[in-house]
Amino acid sequence: MFTTGSKTLIGAATLATIAAIVYGVTQDGVRGTIGLVSAATVLAVLSAANVALRDSNVFVDDPAPVETVSAAQRSGSNSPWPLLFALGSVIIVVGLVSYQPIFVIGVVALLAGGAEWTVQAWSERASSDRGWNAAVRNRLSNPFEYPLAAAIGIGIIVFAFSRVMLWLGSKTNTTIAFSVLAAIVLVVGFLFAGRRRARAGAIGGTIAVGAIAIVAAGTVAGLDGQRDIPVFETTSLWMQEANEHPEEYAEGAAEGKHPAEFICESPEKFPEADKKASQTVALKANATTIVLQENGELAFDVPGPAEVNPDGLTIPRSNPTNFIFRNETDEERRLSADLGIDDDGFRDMACTPLVEDDGSQVLTLTVGKPSFAAEGVTSGPTEDAEDYWFFIPGVETAKLRLIVP
Amino acid sequence: MTATPRRRWSRAALARRTGLVAAVGLLAAGCAQNAPQDTWDPAGENAQKIHDLQWPVFTVAGIVGVIVLSVVGFAIWKFRDRGQPIPEQTHGKPKLEIALTILPALILIGVAIPTVGTLMALNETDDTECIVNVTGQQWWWEFDYPVQDGCGGIDEPIITSGQMVIPADTNVLIRGTSRDVIHSFWIPRLNGKRDMVPGRVHTLRMQANEPGIYAGQCAEFCGLSHANMRMEVAALNDADFEAWKANQLEDYESPAEGTLAAEGEQTFITNCARCHQVDGLRDSDGQLVVSRPDNQVFSGAAPNLTNLMTRNTFAGATWDLITQERRDQVWEADPDEFGDLYLAGVEDEWFNEVDLREWLRNSPAKKPMYADPTRLEETDGLVRGMPYLALSEAQIDQLLAYLLERK
């Protein structure tokens, strides 16, 4: 006959199967469905094994073992795992009708509760010796429980701490917060160090209080939200501003807030975007190098040693291409690319910030339109010059043809 | 009349025969006649270096493997359980253990020295004379020839796909990258693999000893149709390569008015030109037709079809534009004849209309692609590969006529 354990597993397998069907049909989520189908399969296999082994139950018509075998022993203790199992089931249902992450948490809780419950139920019937049963349970479960619990605990602490960090609004606040925290740790450490024999309970309790404090602070900070992170000005933002709000842009220029030209056509310094430009250079692998030489001409070097035609630089269409611009002149200069008029009718230009003498900057270009279809390019050596062009604002001799097939 | 008793094999005899059949089957599997991607048949300098390395390495590995398996097999057979008592157990044989540590180390050092040397030699690109930019994307390869002094001089960029054309007996510099995910460029008879990574440019030297055509395919799993991301390299002698370049840069010619191809030109502009570029194509108002695949396709690119019929394949070199008979002629041509056959392109009599028609009718059904717009949330509606265009049979006829003139 079916034992209680078998019935539980059969019920769980049935439930998982129904959940898989319901989730698969209503949510159309591949991963969730795979997880539930996997759970149903595992539970079905466990059910079959349990039924086959009769849940390790003894024959009722065998009088000898009634008093002595493990199955005849009273249950060891109250177990929290059925509670976690039930909680996981509820969370899954909530997740099904709300958010996928909640559903995943429910599945994790269900699996964890089920696994722990299974191991505990098995261990309590492993022998008639309770102490040995507890030991065998710990030997099986602790290698999983301790690392997982530690990872979850550390994860919560780190997450809570990161919320606090993101909430702190300024460097001053951060400095104060860290100073106070460091002082607390120092004082507490000093107090414990000063005692000849510190009790383990006291140390554990103090750490627990600290952990709770961090989690509480993280919760409060998380609910309050992150500080406002300012958007720093870039050359592309200046181009966008000039294109989309020409009147306000001209107004700002008239008030002396910035030069009047497009940033990519200007040799002058713009606020913020040109500030400390060379300190923001990023290393890009296998980039094409474009050099403004002392004689005021542009030279370039592409990855690979084969000779290229110095009159033009060809890059693939619709693919980000990295350039490193190096300024070898005595004045601050920026590298600009004139890509004509874009689909919205705006001037399509890209440029680096101003780069000081011997400084470098990266420019990444993605050009979606072939250069033979370029329109409105004004930066070539002549008015009717075809293709796109690299140029240096303020240096008439610095022109480089950019070809996109 | 008595029935002949059925012959029964013992288990051992059955096992021996099964093993023999399996061994012969495995051996025979390596004897394919049509193996265009055979690393044991090098046709270029770098491939030859790889070949020269793999022979001794595989020989050493084979000998070691045979010795180890023989000793293990002998031990299993010799000391099998026949009910004998377990022999006296001992622990450790220092001399033997030291010998068995040193010997493999020496063998590995012996293999490592030529391996490292070959790896360094394969990375040499200093002597290249011609540049081809190779860009991988799901699931086809684009080849563009930048403006350069190499390759006999190229004044305007050339762009093609599926088949890369190179001058034979010339060291070509491949500058490869990717538009979406990591791919790997591999023409087994000409060189080893080189990963093509978004945001990076990887270089590779390629050279074919003599004119001919060489098969390859993407060697890094890159999604649903990875197996259908193939490519071919056609190597031409210098004169033929010059002719090929000149043809690629010829001005566009519209089909004659009133022809089916002329109707196809309009159909192309309406249905295909959003993604596929045909250089020089103008609409009825005389405006240049410029494709914008970056607004339609996840990778941001679609094959340039300006000279489609000068190549022999389409859709990631998965299907031929020429008939099987013509393909056999091209692939089996002598080096002296290859150029003429290849440069002839797709002629009417050799046109494989069937596959191209099927492709135009329903490309996602022919080649697996994520082209269903209802399932493209992660790409913001951009398709991966060519979508179903719901073309009528009349439109397909028009397009076939138009494309057949793209030489």
B173 chain-A contacts, CB cut-off 8 A: 304-306
Q: Calculate the CA A353 to chain-centre distance.
A: 29
- The answer for residues whose C-beta is within 8 angstroms of residue A261's C-beta and 6 or more apart is A268, A393
Rounded Cα distance, B266 and B260, in Å: 10
Contact check, Cβ <8 Å, A316/B144: yes
Confidence of residue A283 (pLDDT cuts 50, 70, 90): low
Question: What pLDDT sits at residue B2?
Answer: 54
Confidence of residue A231 (pLDDT cuts 50, 70, 90): confident
The proportion of chain A whose per-residue pLDDT surpasses 90, expressed as a percent, equals: 42
Do the bridges between strand A336-341 and strand A347-351 make them parallel or antiparallel, or are there none, so unpaired? antiparallel
Rounded Cα distance, B55 and A222, in Å: 63
Contact check, Cβ <8 Å, A307/B301: no
Question: What pLDDT sits at residue B80?
Answer: 87
Do the bridges between strand A288-292 and strand A321-327 make them parallel or antiparallel, or are there none, so unpaired? parallel
pLDDT over threshold 60, residue A65 = no
When scoring B130, B173, B252, B275 by the number of chain A Cβ atoms within 10 A, the one with the most, hence best to mutate, is B173
Contact check, Cβ <8 Å, A369/B148: no
Is the bond preceding B140 in cis, omega lying within 30 degrees of 0?
no
Helix, strand or coil, per DSSP, at residue B214: strand
Q: Which of A273-277, A301-305, A317-321, B88-92 is predicted with the least confidence, judged by mean pLDDT?
A: A273-277
Question: What pLDDT sits at residue A303?
Answer: 77
Residue B305 and residue B277 in contact, taking contact as beta carbons nearer than 8 Å: yes
- The closest of B60, B49, B8 to B191, measured between CA atoms, is B49
Contact check, Cβ <8 Å, B177/A405: no
| Residue located via tokens 């250079």 | A281
Task: Report the length, in residues, of chain A.
Answer: 405
- The answer for residues whose C-beta is within 8 angstroms of residue B397's C-beta and 6 or more apart is B260, B264
Confirm or reject contact between B266 and chain A (CB < 8 A): no
pLDDT over threshold 60, residue A62 = no
For residue A2, which amino acid is it? Answer: F
How many angstroms separate the CA of residue B373 from the nearest CA in chain A?
16
Which residues, given as ranges, of chain B have pLDDT below 50?
A: 1
When scoring B126, B134, B147, B299 by the number of chain A Cβ atoms within 10 A, the one with the most, hence best to mutate, is B147
Confirm or reject contact between B271 and chain A (CB < 8 A): no
Residues paired with B320 in a beta bridge: B313
Confirm or reject contact between B157 and chain A (CB < 8 A): yes
CA gyration radius, chain B: 28
B252 chain-A contacts, CB cut-off 8 A: none
DSSP state of B387: P
Rounded Cα distance, A241 and B26, in Å: 68
Query: How many CA within 13 A on the CB side of residue B348?
Result: 3
Q: What does the DSSP assignment read for A10-55?
A: HHHHHHHHHHHHHHHHHH--HHHHHHHHHHHHHHHHHHHHHHHTGG
How many angstroms separate the CA of residue B290 from the nearest CA in chain A?
7
Element (H, E) at B270: helix B260-271
| Residue located via tokens 């057949």 | B404
Q: What does the DSSP assignment read for A282-320?
A: ---TTPEEEEE-TTS-EEEE-SSSS---TTEEE--TTS-
Element (H, E) at A260: none
Confirm or reject contact between B159 and chain A (CB < 8 A): yes
Confidence of residue A74 (pLDDT cuts 50, 70, 90): low
Q: Report chain B's terminal Cα–Cα distance, integer Å.
A: 77
Element (H, E) at A101: helix A100-124
Is the bond preceding B139 in cis, omega lying within 30 degrees of 0?
yes
- Out of A302, A319, A372, name the one closest to residue B279 (CB): A372
Rounded Cα distance, A232 and A237, in Å: 9
SS (H, E, C) A354-382: CECCCCEEEEEECCCCCHHHCCCCCCCCC
- The closest of B174, B190, B119 to B141, measured between CA atoms, is B174
Question: What pLDDT sits at residue B60?
Answer: 92
Q: What does the DSSP assignment read for B159-212?
A: EEESEEEEETTS-EEEEEEESSS-EEE--TTT---EEE-BT--EEEEE--SSSE
Element (H, E) at B230: strand B230-236
- The closest of A403, A348, A394, A336 to A375, measured between CA atoms, is A348
Confidence of residue A213 (pLDDT cuts 50, 70, 90): very high
Q: Which residue of A has its CA nearest to B298?
A: A318
The neighbour count for residue B84, using CB atoms within 10 Å, is 8
When scoring B143, B148, B251 by the number of chain A Cβ atoms within 10 A, the one with the most, hence best to mutate, is B148
A404 chain-B contacts, CB cut-off 8 A: 157
DSSP state of B23: H
B130 chain-A contacts, CB cut-off 8 A: 306
pLDDT over threshold 80, residue A111 = yes
The neighbour count for residue B38, using CB atoms within 10 Å, is 14
Rounded Cα distance, A309 and A293, in Å: 18
Element (H, E) at A104: helix A100-124
Question: What pLDDT sits at residue A285?
Answer: 62
Confidence of residue A97 (pLDDT cuts 50, 70, 90): confident
Q: Which residue of B has its CA nearest to A314?
A: B146
Please name the residues between 126 and 145 in chain B that touch chain A, using a CB distance below 8 Å: 126, 128-131, 133, 135, 142, 144
pLDDT over threshold 90, residue A194 = no
How many angstroms separate the CA of residue B155 from the nearest CA in chain A?
8
pLDDT over threshold 60, residue A60 = no
Q: Which two tokens stand for residue A324?
A: 């490193």
CA dihedral A109, A112, A114, A118 (to 10 degrees): -160
How many angstroms separate the CA of residue B348 from the nearest CA in chain A?
29
B149 chain-A contacts, CB cut-off 8 A: 307-309
Write the pLDDT tens digit of every residue in A125-158: 888 788 888 898 999 899 999 999 999 999 999 9
Burial class (CB in 10 A: 0-12, 13-18, 19+), B331: middle
Rounded Cα distance, B142 and B217, in Å: 13
When scoring B135, B143, B145, B201 by the number of chain A Cβ atoms within 10 A, the one with the most, hence best to mutate, is B201
Q: Which two tokens stand for residue A219?
A: 């919760």
Confirm or reject contact between B252 and chain A (CB < 8 A): no
Rounded Cα distance, B200 and A316, in Å: 13
Element (H, E) at B12: helix B11-29
Residue B150 and residue B239 in contact, taking contact as beta carbons nearer than 8 Å: no
Contact check, Cβ <8 Å, B177/A319: yes
Rounded Cα distance, A289 and A278, in Å: 15
B129 chain-A contacts, CB cut-off 8 A: 306-307
Contact check, Cβ <8 Å, A304/B131: yes
Confirm or reject contact between B296 and chain A (CB < 8 A): no
Q: Which residue of A has its CA nearest to B178?
A: A319
Residue A360 and residue A278 in contact, taking contact as beta carbons nearer than 8 Å: yes
| Residue located via tokens 């494309």 | B403
A308 chain-B contacts, CB cut-off 8 A: 131, 146-150
Contact check, Cβ <8 Å, B173/A304: yes
Residue B388 and residue B362 in contact, taking contact as beta carbons nearer than 8 Å: yes
Q: Which residue of B has its CA nearest to A404?
A: B157
Confirm or reject contact between B405 and chain A (CB < 8 A): no
Q: Which residue of A has its CA nearest to B154?
A: A309
Contact check, Cβ <8 Å, B147/A373: no
Q: Which two tokens stand for residue A140?
A: 């099986």
How many angstroms separate the CA of residue A274 from the nearest CA in chain B?
25
The A-side interface with B (CB below 8 A) comprises 284-286, 302-309, 311-314, 316-320, 322, 343, 366, 368-370, 372-373, 403-405
Between residues B277 and A385, which one has the greater pLDDT? B277
Contact check, Cβ <8 Å, B304/A405: yes
CA gyration radius, chain A: 35
Question: What pLDDT sits at residue A277?
Answer: 62
Between residues B164 and A387, which one has the greater pLDDT? B164
Q: Which two tokens stand for residue A223?
A: 């609910």
Mean predicted confidence (pLDDT) in A381-386: 80
DSSP state of A328: -
Mean predicted confidence (pLDDT) in A261-272: 89
Helix, strand or coil, per DSSP, at residue A340: strand
Q: What does the DSSP assignment read for B233-253?
A: EEEE-HHHHHHHHHHHTSPP-
Q: Which residue of B has its CA nearest to A343?
A: B292
Q: Which residue of A has its CA nearest to B155?
A: A309
Angle at A76 between CA A70 and CA A77, to 5 degrees: 165
Rounded Cα distance, A384 and A400, in Å: 15
Element (H, E) at B158: strand B158-161
How many angstroms separate the CA of residue B16 from the nearest CA in chain A?
37
Contact check, Cβ <8 Å, B179/A311: no
Confidence of residue A58 (pLDDT cuts 50, 70, 90): low
Write the pLDDT tens digit of every residue in A99-110: 888 999 999 999
Question: What pLDDT sits at residue B30?
Answer: 73
Question: What pLDDT sits at residue A281?
Answer: 52
When scoring A31, A283, A286, A319 by the number of chain B Cβ atoms within 10 A, the one with the most, hence best to mutate, is A319
Query: How many CA within 13 A on the CB side of residue B147?
Result: 17
Confidence of residue A31 (pLDDT cuts 50, 70, 90): confident
Rounded Cα distance, A109 and A91, in Å: 8
Q: In what order do the strands lie in the sheet with B212-217?
A: B163-167, B230-236, B212-217
Rounded Cα distance, B20 and B165, in Å: 46
Residue A318 and residue A367 in contact, taking contact as beta carbons nearer than 8 Å: yes
Residue B206 and residue B190 in contact, taking contact as beta carbons nearer than 8 Å: yes
Q: Calculate the CA B184 to chain-centre distance.
A: 9
Burial class (CB in 10 A: 0-12, 13-18, 19+), B57: middle
Burial letters for A57-71: b for 16+ Cβ neighbours within 10 Å, e otherwise?
Answer: beeeeeeeeeeebbb
Residues paired with B177 in a beta bridge: B135
Element (H, E) at B217: strand B212-217
